[in-house]
């Protein structure tokens, strides 16, 4: 079998924050892809604003580097389970993976998730133990952990013979020796390991064309762009080809442009051969998993399987008393257009209409997946409301099943009891407990996904901010009866519309924690704080102090109120109850009751009790 020895296709996979994107930066720099005077930003592959702010990769990206006379196509994948849809498709485009593992943290839930996907596709692995220069790094133990994980995931004999490279992506060094003092001053060892161990693509360019789309992009000038791999044959600009649709239909179109990847840029090329990773424009109606082939030789590849969404929320037009004050796009038509355009590139997302023309059910892979969409819309000038996230219950063989997450927790030893108790109350099942001997304990649980909604805040309180919580989708299991998780405390709801005053806030401080600052605009039915008890109470924080001509003995004392708790978008979404909405605008995040009037809320509560 003839192979293209001048080419290698690899994906970089890892748990979030183990250094994938920094490693790609170094490979780009050291391969001479950039000119010596060219300015390159840190984490150059994270091009989106949100990716830069949060230090995470959301979208898979491709780049290419040249080492000696060989081209290495590199796909940088997200580490979060919520963006796992991106990871699965990328596995089909490559012949091998670089599994990056932190030299201190070792194998994490997402390491397990991404490695499982790679082994299922029968890809050749190389293990990179990164951050070798970290304090308390334990490279040898981490390699043993990785080996155990390979065995647990049923890796075949060839996959178990993986080479290991020890590296510090931050310093741009690598070596085959676990001793940090023996690092070479560059990453040549890693380049050579890739060339030696990752199989070269098969060169079958004489056969009929097969190109499969794995990722989508969109450009205002050329429309939809399909990114994928040429599995056999060759493709050239101007060629008439057939697009094998997922529904079985066939469309013909002309290839208008082909782009190859060079460093961080896409450059137009005239033709591509078997093994090449390319982007193609000219087909408006192309989707992930569809095959492009010659009109006279229609032969579709197996469609790509994409994991189903596990969480859904209702997106609504903003109808609060402050609607339209801060946003540019506030109508149902604009919101629906934006959600539909998101479907062009995000295959893990679902948008369904409801009985109301002003509401849509949006389903995704997790809270982070949906909150990133909401945050992007907010930054673009949209105003909307969203409901509490709900897990999607499936019927499997006549049994109602719910998604269950595998949860890994690293905490100081003294918090072990409280965490086990808190997850037990959320129907969590403990699978393992590992004491690392340095005062840290690792706990592994299976927990129903609905039990984790809103858990992060409680977890941070219980561990005083010292705990690390990671989770990824495990499986669907029979639905457990009864309520799982949820908020324990009631809320403080405003009974008036106006501005929050220091005097009004001081009157209700002892009732709980406030969420707003003095001077904030408030409306009736808006949630302004958390009650210390389980019931909701209405309060008036817009109350002004009556002026009198009697001089008080304490007049000159300054009024000091406790610092309010200001929530981020994720915290607000986690905090919601079933009868509440989160109002999101470009400038504000507000929590509110679905029914704003107190009397109407009470009437509904009575009717529900009778029912």
Residue 578 vs residues 158, 484, 582: alpha-carbon distances, Å = 51, 13, 11
Predicted pLDDT at 525: 93
Residue 547 falls in which region: left (phi positive, over 0), alpha (psi -120 to 50) or beta: beta
Task: Output the six-digit token pair for 200.
Answer: 């070269």
Q: Is the pLDDT of residue 61 over 90?
A: no
pLDDT tens digits for range 205-240: 889 889 988 877 776 677 778 888 899 888 888 888
Predicted pLDDT at 41: 43
Place of tokens 């040429």: 230
pLDDT tens digits for range 559-572: 677 888 888 888 88
Domain 394-478 has CATH 3.10.20.30: no
Place of tokens 């009198």: 548
**Residue in 401, 566, 598 with CA at minimum distance from that of residue 496:** 598
Cα distance between residue 21 and residue 561, in whole Å: 44
Do the Cβ atoms of 185 and 194 come closer than 8 Å?
no
Q: Per-residue pLDDT averaged across 382-398, rounded?
A: 91
Do the Cβ atoms of 26 and 44 come closer than 8 Å?
no
Q: Is the pLDDT of residue 51 over 70?
A: no
CATH superfamily label, 210-294: Translation factors (2.40.30.10)
Collapsing DSSP states into helix, strand and coil, what is residue 160?
helix
Residue 22 marked as a ligand binder:
yes
Question: Residue 263: phi, psi to the nearest 5?
Answer: 60, -130
pTM (predicted TM-score): 0.74
Do the Cβ atoms of 334 and 382 come closer than 8 Å?
yes
| Between 87 and 101, residue with greater pLDDT | 101
Predicted pLDDT at 315: 95
Domain 491-547+559-610 has CATH 2.60.40.1180: no
Collapsing DSSP states into helix, strand and coil, what is residue 216?
strand
pLDDT tens digits for range 121-163: 889 999 999 888 888 788 888 899 899 989 988 888 888 888 9
Do the Cβ atoms of 311 and 392 come closer than 8 Å?
yes
Q: Is the pLDDT of residue 548 over 80?
A: no
Residue 474 marked as a ligand binder:
no
Q: Is the pLDDT of residue 36 over 50?
A: no
Q: Is the pLDDT of residue 74 over 50?
A: yes
Q: Per-residue pLDDT averaged across 501-526, rounded?
A: 90
Q: What per-residue string of b and e applies to 50-76 under the rule 16 or more CB within 10 Å gives b? A: ebeebebbbbbbbbbbebeebbbbbbb
| Between 272 and 553, residue with greater pLDDT | 272
Cα distance between residue 92 and residue 304, in whole Å: 8
| Between 11 and 31, residue with greater pLDDT | 11
Residue 179 marked as a ligand binder:
no
Pure H helices in 365-501: 367-379, 416-424, 449-452, 455-462
Task: Output the six-digit token pair for 233.
Answer: 């044959």
Predicted pLDDT at 46: 39
Q: Per-residue pLDDT averaged across 432-455, rounded?
A: 84
Residue 133 marked as a ligand binder:
yes
Q: Per-residue pLDDT averaged across 441-455, rounded?
A: 87
Residue 132 marked as a ligand binder:
yes
Residue 532 marked as a ligand binder:
no
Question: Residue 469: phi, psi to the nearest 5?
Answer: -120, 125
Report the Cα 424 to chain-centroid distance in Å: 26
Residue 21 marked as a ligand binder:
yes
Helix (H) or strand (E) holding 566: none
| Between 555 and 46, residue with greater pLDDT | 555
Cα distance between residue 483 and residue 407, in whole Å: 19
Q: Where are the domains of the chain?
A: 7-197, 210-294, 394-478, 491-547+559-610
Predicted pLDDT at 50: 43
Residue 124 marked as a ligand binder:
no
Predicted pLDDT at 319: 93
Domain 7-197 has CATH 3.40.50.300: yes
Residue 130 marked as a ligand binder:
yes
């Amino acid at each position: 079998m003839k192979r293209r020895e001048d080419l290698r296709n690899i994906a970089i996979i890892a748990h979030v924050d183990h250094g994938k994107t920094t490693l790609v930066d170094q490979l780009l720099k050291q391969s001479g892809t950039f000119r010596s005077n060219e300015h390159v930003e840190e984490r150059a592959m994270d091009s989106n604003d949100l990716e830069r702010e949060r230090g995470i990769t959301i979208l898979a990206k491709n780049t290419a580097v040249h080492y000696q006379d060989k081209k290495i196509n590199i796909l940088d994948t997200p580490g979060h389970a919520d963006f796992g849809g991106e990871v699965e498709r990328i596995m089909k485009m490559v012949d091998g993976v670089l599994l990056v593992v932190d030299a201190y943290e070792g194998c994490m839930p997402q390491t397990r998730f991404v490695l499982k996907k790679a082994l299922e596709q029968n890809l050749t692995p190389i293990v990179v133990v990164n951050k070798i220069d970290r304090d308390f790094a334990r490279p040898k133990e981490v390699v043993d952990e990785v080996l155990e994980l390979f065995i647990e995931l049923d890796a075949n004999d060839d996959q178990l013979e993986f080479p290991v490279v020890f590296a510090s992506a931050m310093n741009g060094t690598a070596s085959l020796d676990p001793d940090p003092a023996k690092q070479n001053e560059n990453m040549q060892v890693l380049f050579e390991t890739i060339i030696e161990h990752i199989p070269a693509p098969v060169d079958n360019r004489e056969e009929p064309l097969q190109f499969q789309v794995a990722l989508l992009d969109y450009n205002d000038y050329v429309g939809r762009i399909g990114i994928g791999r040429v599995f056999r044959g060759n493709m050239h600009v101007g060629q008439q080809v057939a697009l094998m649709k997922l529904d079985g239909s066939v469309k013909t179109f002309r290839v208008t442009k082909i782009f190859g990847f060079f460093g961080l840029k896409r450059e137009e090329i005239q033709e591509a051969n078997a093994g090449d990773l390319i982007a193609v424009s000219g087909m408006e109606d192309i989707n992930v998993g569809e095959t492009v082939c010659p009109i006279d030789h229609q032969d579709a590849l197996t469609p790509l399987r994409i994991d189903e969404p596990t969480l859904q929320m209702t997106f609504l037009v903003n109808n609060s008393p402050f609607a339209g004050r801060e946003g540019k796009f506030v109508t149902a038509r604009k919101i629906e257009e934006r959600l539909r355009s998101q479907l062009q590139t995000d295959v893990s997302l679902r948008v369904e209409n409801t009985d109301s023309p002003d509401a849509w059910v949006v389903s995704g892979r997790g809270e982070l997946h949906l909150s990133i969409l909401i945050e992007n819309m907010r930054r673009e000038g949209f105003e909307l409301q969203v409901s509490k996230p709900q897990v999607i219950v499936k019927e499997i063989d006549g049994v109602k099943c719910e998604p269950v997450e595998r949860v890994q927790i690293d905490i100081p030893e003294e918090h072990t009891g409280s965490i086990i108790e808190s997850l037990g109350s959320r129907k969590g099942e403990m699978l393992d407990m590992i004491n690392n001997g340095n005062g840290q304990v690792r706990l592994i649980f299976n927990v129903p996904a609905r039990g984790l909604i809103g858990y992060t805040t409680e977890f941070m309180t219980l561990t005083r901010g010292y705990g690390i919580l990671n989770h990824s989708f495990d499986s669907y299991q029979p639905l457990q009866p009864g309520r799982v998780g949820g908020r324990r405390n009631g809320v403080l709801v405003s009974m008036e519309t106006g501005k929050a005053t220091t005097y009004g806030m001081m009157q209700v401080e002892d009732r709980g924690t406030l969420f707003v600052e003095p001077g904030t605009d408030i409306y009736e039915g808006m949630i302004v704080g958390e009650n210390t008890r389980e019931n909701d109470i209405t309060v008036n924080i817009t109350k002004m102090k009556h002026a009198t001509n009697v001089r008080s003995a304490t007049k000159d004392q300054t009024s000091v109120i406790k610092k309010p708790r200001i929530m981020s978008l994720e915290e607000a979404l986690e905090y919601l109850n079933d009868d509440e909405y989160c109002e999101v605008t470009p400038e504000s995040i507000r929590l509110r009751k679905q029914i704003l009037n107190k009397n109407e809320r009470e009437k509904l509560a009575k009717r529900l009790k009778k029912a």
